[in-house]
Amino acid sequence: MYDTIAAIATAPGEAGIGIVRISGNKAIEIADKVFKGKRIEKLSEAEERKLIYGYIIDPEDGKKIDEVLAVYMRGPYTYTREDVVEINCHGGIIPVRRILEVILKNGARLAEPGEFTKRAFLNGRIDLAQAEAVMDLISAKTDTSFDVSLNQLEGSLSKEVSKVREILLKMLAHVEASIDFPEHDIEEVTYDNLQNEGKEVLSRIEKLLSTADTGKILREGLKTVILGKPNVGKSSLMNAILRENRAIVTDVPGTTRDIIEEYVNIRGIPLKIIDTAGIRDTDDIVERIGVERAKELVQRADLVFVVFDISHDLSDEDIKIAELIKDKKVIVITNKIDLPKKVSKEKIKELLPDKPIIETSIVEGVGLDLLEETLKNMFFSGDITIKDRAIVTNVRHKDLLIKAKKNIEDALNSLQMGIPIDCIEVDIKDCWENLGQITGDTVTDDIIDRIFEDFCIGK
């Protein structure tokens, strides 16, 4: 039996409503100490799952702390599967803090980060993949990433992983039968069954892994660096994408010296967009630092928007920039097409072959729709159908799937080589256990603790 925990469940700051949550076997006992209803003296006397109007008071002196609505929910039909009390008070830092303090003084312990969700997992209400989806849902930056997280919370990934583990269990049963009953001469049949089932396991794992890059983008945002020499329109591009004047735009080269970062949603893709200092040789120490930081960011970027001013001839700086990004995912933006053209599209293609080129006049808003469409097609290859689809958004899940894939590949290779069947059992079991770590069926306590450390307190 766990002790009783409490925490503020709403974000800090001013709001219409703030919520303090209590969970545990003493939740209603503590609530009865601090809550006094207008018509019903104690919350325990009220109808379950019904908001009751009253006050939170300090039992030591009877002083009212705030006017509230409180609700009692008896386990196991709650988020944590424990008794839960939620107190809805006035939003703001002071009311919720004072209510939490009086609850802690009367028998509750301050919840650790993610402890409510951790209890939901430990009490069997959700599995580990669903628990991790809770934080993804909270931090979703686009409608698409929200839908993916909601699907995972509802068990889309867990169901697919469970199907694969069921096949692996069947494989282990075949192995055990062959080992336990060698006199029945079933080894040849067992090898055929294992190969067919192993190929199905491999196919399902590869299908899940194929979604991981898309999932990472949806979860974390696409790290996108805007690159180019000074005065080609980098800051203007950032402002156009953000639809606000976030970066300073002037005709003076070197205006942008530091790195500017913002999140933006483009066609359902969350971008962490980074405007960098113009790449050029300079004697200005501050600007030179900005240039070096821009080059470092390019190496870590998922995508580069490289901007060229085609109203001027290509310079040595342009050529150096092209060399810097030749092995990256790049969208080339040829800007200032409203001015007399000095550089042809063919010349840019020679400089960066096989990279999509978008002709723009950023100041006039020309080409931005095509840029957004090109970005979408590069990473989604058409529209994503989220409904009922399992998408891998978590790095931990991806790593475990990679390990499981290696396990089943080793097992299949061993089968082809005719290695004794009891040796193959190890790889099949390792595959089963690695997949079990995704849902929490075979996970260790230290991994569970590490996962929930990243949660916010109160969830």
pLDDT, tens only, 427-459? 999 999 999 999 998 888 888 888 888 788 888
Question: Is 32 labeled as ligand-binding?
Answer: no
- Determine the Cα–Cα distance for residues 279 and 157; give it in Å rounded to an integer: 44
Instruction: Determine the distance from the C-alpha atom of residue 436 to the mean position of all C-alpha atoms in its chain, rounded to a whole number.
Output: 20
Question: Is 105 labeled as ligand-binding?
Answer: no
| H, E, C per residue of 129-167 | HHHHHHHHHHCCCCHHHHHHHHHHHCCHHHHHHHHHHHH
Integer angstrom CA distances of residue 426 from 134, 171, 400, 409, 446 = 34, 12, 17, 12, 24
Q: What pLDDT sits at residue 253? A: 39
Question: Is 236 labeled as ligand-binding?
Answer: yes
Question: Which CATH class, in words, describes the domain spanning 5-111?
Answer: alpha beta
Integer angstrom CA distances of residue 50 from 39, 40, 104, 335 = 14, 12, 24, 61
Task: Give the residue extent of every domain in the chain.
Answer: 5-111, 133-211+391-452, 220-380
Q: What is the DSSP string of 31-81?
A: HHHHEEESS-S-GGGSPTT--EEEEEEETTTTEEEEEEEEEEE-TTSSSSS
Question: Is 21 labeled as ligand-binding?
Answer: yes
Question: Is 140 labeled as ligand-binding?
Answer: no
Question: Which CATH class, in words, describes the domain spanning 133-211+391-452?
Answer: mainly alpha
Give, for 115, the enclosing helix (H) or strand (E).
helix 115-122
Question: Is 92 labeled as ligand-binding?
Answer: no
Question: Is 234 labeled as ligand-binding?
Answer: yes
Question: Is 275 labeled as ligand-binding?
Answer: yes
Q: What pLDDT sits at residue 250? A: 37
Q: What pLDDT sits at residue 189? A: 59
Q: What pLDDT sits at residue 12? A: 85
Question: Is 250 labeled as ligand-binding?
Answer: yes
- Determine the Cα–Cα distance for residues 345 and 351; give it in Å rounded to an integer: 10
Q: What pLDDT sits at residue 197? A: 92
Using the structure block, give the residue that is written with the tokens 């009953």. 181
How many Cβ atoms are within 10 Å of 314's Cβ, its own excluded? Answer: 17
Indicate if 133-211+391-452 has the same CATH topology as 5-111.
no
Question: Is 381 labeled as ligand-binding?
Answer: no
Q: What pLDDT sits at residue 251? A: 41
Question: Is 283 labeled as ligand-binding?
Answer: no
Q: What pLDDT sits at residue 30? A: 96
Q: What pLDDT sits at residue 437? A: 93
- Determine the Cα–Cα distance for residues 142 and 356; give it in Å rounded to an integer: 25
Taking the C-alpha atoms of 147, 151, 152 and 158 in order, what is their torsion angle to the nearest 10 degrees?
Answer: -160
3-state SS assignment for residue 229:
coil
Q: Give the DSSP letter of residue 362.
A: G
| Nearest in space to 6 (alpha carbons), one of 107, 118, 108 | 108
CB 64 within 8 A of CB 54: no
3-state SS assignment for residue 9:
coil
Question: Is 341 labeled as ligand-binding?
Answer: no
Q: What pLDDT sits at residue 3? A: 93
What would the two tokens of residue 194 be? 């294992």
Question: Is 252 labeled as ligand-binding?
Answer: yes
In which residue ranges of the chain is pLDDT below 70? 1, 180-189, 244-259, 277-291, 294, 379-389
pLDDT tens readout for residues 215-264? 777 777 778 888 888 878 888 888 888 776 554 333 433 444 456 778 88
Q: What pLDDT sits at residue 290? A: 62
Give, for 227, the enclosing helix (H) or strand (E).
strand 222-227
Give, for 253, the enclosing helix (H) or strand (E).
none
Question: Is 36 labeled as ligand-binding?
Answer: no
Residue type at 409 in one-letter notation: E
3-state SS assignment for residue 368:
helix
Question: Is 255 labeled as ligand-binding?
Answer: yes
Output phi, psi for 246, to 5 deg. -80, -40
β-pair type (260-266, 63-73)? unpaired
Residue type at 141 in one-letter notation: K
| Nearest in space to 220 (alpha carbons), one of 117, 302, 330 | 302
**CATH number of this structure's domain 220-380, picked from the four choices 3.30.160.20, 3.30.565.10, 3.40.50.300, 3.40.50.11540:** 3.40.50.300
